[in-house]
Structure 1
Amino acid sequence: MGVALRDARRSVTSWCRRHTIGGDGTVAAVRRGHRQGEPGTLSRDQELELIDMLRGVHPDDFGLDEELWTRQSLATLVQRRFDLPLDHGTVGAYLRAWGLGPREPRERACGLCVGAVERWVRLEYPSITRAAQDHLAEVYWIGRVRLRGTMPAADVLSAVSSRGRVRFMITTPSVDPPLPRDFVLRLSGAEEHPVHLIVDGSWPRNEWPRRLPRRIALHPLPSCGRALAA
């Protein structure tokens, strides 16, 4: 009975996490049927090269004055590498294709978690926003998307602020990777701004970084995987 229960928990947790991580991101050239030489956009080969350039590195590795990738720093890198100016809307289209951008809280939950997430939004989220206001802190929603159409596949870790600002990094997937400590610290920045981070079901709590500075507060979004693991 105990083995069966553990197997059931593992199956539901795995299903929930697959839904959360999804496969909602894909190479933009594939998604929109991009043709080589289309003006004002990257070719498929250029986009794949760009994704590989971003794996495991940050803007400051290229001498850019940002902690994590944003529309602006991505556009700057494209201009430098490919001599191709991309306007704000085009960069946004790439990020949306890669699975980045604002999402409703219920969209960060699997079907089994939606009710719990909606209750959490009503009962818990207001206290987080009040605490953030008291601390002059930014609120970010943290998640992960599996980017398809690349070899190897890529994980896109994103932080979307309550005002819609997108910051991200790209990693090569591994088995059950933890939430990177460096990613969390970079959201606070060199100026050590206070931040409140709402973490979706992409990572169970035992995969969160420990002993973070007090200026960084992590809050779990309800997840059936977390509930079953408790």
Structure 2
Amino acid sequence: MAAVRRGQRQGEPGTLSREQELELIDTLRGVHPDAFGLDEELWTRQSLHALIQQQFGLTLDVGVVGAYLRAWGLGPREPRERACGLCVGAVERWVRSEYPAITRAAQEHLAEVYWVGRVRLRGTMPAADVISAVSSRGRVRFMVTTPSVDPPLPREFVHRLSGAERRTVHLIVDGSWARNEWPRRLPRRIVPHPLPSCGRALAA
């Protein structure tokens, strides 16, 4: 799970030790950047960089912080990478037939398109789920939770994607959640779209 530069070892200058990485994940559980006085609705590479400096007194290279996010399973992925093996064909057809209309609608309303999914971090105690939204521009926003039985897509997460400015957002939700696990009665500015899926697919 740890992410270090080539030629570096975990715990060397410019990296987090294993213990610090686990402590960082625990610190992130269920809290958002504003709890630490940071001006972000959800965690980003920049706010995580600031938290590491605040918590550990370390000023890591921003690229190293990005490497931690990629090691945690966050970052841009092709649509087919968000599908289980049985759904790849359906996802590829969806991208050709449905996705262009979503991007056009987003452009017309000056909205952002986010690909929403979930990965589970192994090696933590207890395990941690990272719920992420990756914009069509590659910007990653996320929160960390402790897994529960059939956890729904958190309402607070999708509201925070819209931000204090109440921006219009289109959310492409992968198979991590069934449709009945989505928040109900969302504001009209938050528009969810299901990515074709034959069932919940939580990446390890």
Shorter-normalised TM range = over 0.9
Q: What 5-or-longer segments of structure 2 have no aligned partner?
A: none
Residue 141 of structure 1 deviates from its aligned partner by: 0.1
SS of the equivalent of 1:92 reads: helix
How far apart in 2 are the matches of 1:223 and 1:36? Answer: 37
1:28 maps to what in 2? 3
Residue 159 of structure 1 contacts residue 168 of structure 1 at CA under 8 Å; is this kept in 2?
yes
1:8 maps to what in 2? none
Matched to 1:208, the amino acid is W
Matched to 2:3, the amino acid is A
SS of the equivalent of 1:39 reads: coil
Residue 225 of structure 1 deviates from its aligned partner by: 2.1
1:87 maps to what in 2? 61
Matched to 1:28, the amino acid is A
Question: What RMSD in Å do the two structures reach over aligned CA positions?
Answer: 1.7
Q: Normalized against structure 2, the TM-score is what? A: 0.94
Residue deviations 1:47-104, cap 9 Å, x none?
A: 1000000000000011110000001100000001111001121011000000000000
2:78 maps to what in 1? 104
1:153–1:34 CA distance, 2 compared to 1 (3 A):
farther
SS of the equivalent of 2:121 reads: strand
How far apart in 2 are the matches of 1:223 and 1:150? Answer: 28
Q: Which has the higher contact order (CA 8 A, sep 6+)?
A: 1
How far apart in 2 are the matches of 1:175 and 1:27? Answer: 27
| Structure of higher CA gyration radius | 1
Matched to 1:143, the amino acid is G
1:201 maps to what in 2? 175
How far apart in 1 are the matches of 2:7 and 2:126? Answer: 21
SS of the equivalent of 1:131 reads: helix
How far apart in 1 are the matches of 2:2 and 2:35? Answer: 24
How far apart in 2 are the matches of 1:99 and 1:176? Answer: 20
Matched to 1:115, the amino acid is G
Residue 68 of structure 1 contacts residue 169 of structure 1 at CA under 8 Å; is this kept in 2?
yes
1:153–1:136 CA distance, 2 compared to 1 (3 A):
same
Q: What 5-or-longer segments of structure 1 have no aligned partner?
A: 1-25
Residue 27 of structure 1 deviates from its aligned partner by: 4.0
1:189–1:40 CA distance, 2 compared to 1 (3 A):
same
Q: In the TM superposition, what are the counterparts of 1:1-230 in structure 2 within 5 Å?
A: 26-28=1-3, 35=9, 37-225=11-199
Matched to 2:154, the amino acid is P
The structure with the largest helix share of the pair is: 1
Count of residue pairs brought into register by the alignment: 200
Q: Normalized against structure 1, the TM-score is what? A: 0.84
Residue 27 of structure 1 contacts residue 150 of structure 1 at CA under 8 Å; is this kept in 2?
no
SS of the equivalent of 1:28 reads: coil
Residue 33 of structure 1 deviates from its aligned partner by: 10
Residue 3 of structure 2 contacts residue 64 of structure 2 at CA under 8 Å; is this kept in 1?
no
SS of the equivalent of 1:130 reads: helix
How far apart in 2 are the matches of 1:194 and 1:95? Answer: 26
How far apart in 1 are the matches of 2:193 and 2:149? Answer: 23
SS of the equivalent of 2:30 reads: coil
Residue 107 of structure 1 deviates from its aligned partner by: 0.2
